[in-house]
Structure 1
């Protein structure tokens, strides 16, 4: 039995990790923490919308760089 994967230009672009998501956890001085992740456009904005409802501060930008971890549980935000 053989399996084939079909890639189209739109699916590759849609799944590209093009956005950086910065999640800011407040705290005094050095207790403040920021976590950075790479995400697709949809994942980034869906996550940011949900996270800000809980009181978290989230920034989304296009500053993706090598080595950024993908957004955890990415499939939840599609």
Structure 2
């Protein structure tokens, strides 16, 4: 069963963290960097899973309103 999404007005569901995920490419020019907005809980859970999978991830509080939310965030939260 997929849990219902939280009410977007819920302060606990407001993104307060920027997650930056770094992917190596065959050359330094082919590297890929993706940024997402997430709650503190989502950021922690995603980072744990991503690092375990061998990815490099940084998390900070520089959230831009234009950042996309972390995809499938219900899986990490």
In our comparison, the structure showing a higher alpha carbon Rg is 1
SS in 2 for 1:69: coil
CA offset digits 1:5-56 (Å, max 9, x no partner): xx7xxx8221110000001001222111100000000001100000100100
SS in 2 for 1:67: coil
Mapped partners of 2:28, 2:76: distance in 1: 31
Structure 2: stretches of 5+ with no match in the other structure? 1-6
Q: Give me the CA root mean square deviation.
A: 1.4
Count the aligned residue pairs.
69
| Structure 2 equivalent of residue 19 of structure 1 | 17
Q: TM-score, normalised by structure 1?
A: 0.82
Instruction: Tell me if 1:69 matches 2:63.
Output: no
TM-score computed with the length of structure 2 as normaliser: 0.83
What's the secondary structure of 2:10's corresponding residue? helix
Gaps of 5+ in 1: 1-6
Q: Report runs of 4+ in structure 1 exceeding 2 Å deviation.
A: none
Q: In 2, distance between residues paired with 1:12 and 1:41?
A: 14
